[in-house]
Structure 1
Amino acid sequence: MAIILLGRDGVINQNPNQFVKSADEWQPLPGSIEALAALSQAGHQLVIATNQSGLALGQFDLDDLEAIHAKMRSQVEDAGGEIAAIFYCPHGPEDNCRCRKPQAGLLDAIEAEFDTSLHGCYLVGDKLADLKLALQKDCKPVLLKSGEGELTMQQLFQKPNSRLSNTIVFNDLAQFSRFVLQN
């Protein structure tokens, strides 16, 4: 089964006010739950890799984060799919940890947990940090225009990075899912 790596905020769910602080605030983007379920049903292992600096900044606590993830998992399961795992960085931007995207610590942990290489896997995100992370492990970078994706596209065009020239761009997770399922 192929692993598909996904960011969370701006990819699967709306990202209002910078932090999603509770399960009540967590709202999926249109079509994202169905897209995840379809990918899962087709045999892909869905693994979430997300920065959650709100923990370090005291915006929410671990119980809140677990409730958010339980709600997300439940909605995907109700649609007939499964999220294989969720990995998150609990540190703030100034903590200089190895697990905060675009550093490769989360991907190292995923490789260890699944006893596999992520080389060639899709890494789907809406931020430049996601795309840079994809390059760390030779993943296929995928940019969604949802979330901060439009801003990220502008950043890419202002400072072209030849290593990111192969980035595939989709409007949203539903369009990406259709692409994967058709190919």
Structure 2
Amino acid sequence: MKLLILDRDGTLNRSRDDKVASPDEWEPMPGALEAVARLNHGGWRVVLATNQSGIGRGLFDMASLNAVHARMQRELAAVGGRVEAVFLCPHAPEDNCDCRKPRPGLFRQIGRRFGVPLAEVPAAGNTLRHVTAAAAAGCPAHLLLTGPLAGLASAEVQALPDLPSGTRVHADLAAFADWLLSQPAVSKNPA
């Protein structure tokens, strides 16, 4: 199974300082929906791992979040794409849970649910928090320069002290999709 884990805010849709609390506030990143569709058509199953502390902070409820994800799925479907599942941490930072990135709990949940070794599951997101969690869970980590690190040169990003070793850097989700789709297939059963 070719499984891929993406972050949501700043990777698939634009981040907002006041959180994405309703479907009207969800706005896709340029080219991101089409990138997911290309990945799906290339055989990749895409899941999201997202911190949603707005729930724990009382800024929105699960019904509102489900409505946001329903809009996301409709817009993906319109371009031929799909997100298989959304794994989320609803806790506030002070709850000190294992599922809030940069901790690896969400990634481990995904690995258990899909029954795949996380070393075979690339994970891409636009924050150090996401790639740190991915690397801690054993996923190959990919940093997208569409968030707080946008505008930095690749050498500047690679020099960040908190960047997990081996993290690959891509301009955005479309560039990551191009890279991933260009990789040779690995046979699980060598002859």
Secondary structure, in 3 states, of the residue corresponding to 2:99? Answer: coil
Using a 3 Å threshold, how does the CA distance of structure 1 residues 151 and 62 change in structure 2: closer, same or farther?
A: farther
The separation in 1 between residues aligned to 2:96 and 2:182, in whole angstroms, is 40
The alignment status of 1:157 with 2:132, answered yes or no, reads: no
Identity %, equivalent residues: 39
Distance in 2 of aligned mates of 1:43 and 1:61: 33
1:151 Cα deviation from its structure 2 partner: 8.3
Partner of 2:189: none
CA distance in 2, matches of 1:68, 1:17: 16
Deviation at 1:120, TM superposition (A): 2.9
Could you say which residue in structure 1 is the equivalent of 2:175?
Answer: 175
The residue type equivalent to 1:182 in the other structure is S
Q: Which residues of 2 match residues 31-50 of structure 1 at below 5 A?
A: 31-50=31-50
- Quick check: 2:128–2:162 contact (8 Å CA) kept in 1? no
Alignment of 1:45-56 (within 5 A): 45-56=45-56
Q: Which has the higher contact order (CA 8 A, sep 6+)?
A: 1
What does residue 16 of structure 2 align with?
16
User: 2:65 maps to what in 1?
Assistant: 65
For residues 151 and 132 of structure 1, the distance between their equivalents in structure 2, rounded to whole angstroms, comes to: 20
TM-score, normalised by the number of residues in structure 2: 0.88
TM-score, normalization: structure 1?
0.91
SS in structure 2 at match of 1:54: helix
Instruction: Provide structure 1 residue ranges, at least 5 long, that are not aligned to the other structure.
Output: none
Letter of the aligned partner of 1:64 in structure 2? S
RMSD: 1.9
Larger radius of gyration: 2
Give the count of matched residue pairs.
181
3-state DSSP class of the match of 2:72?
helix
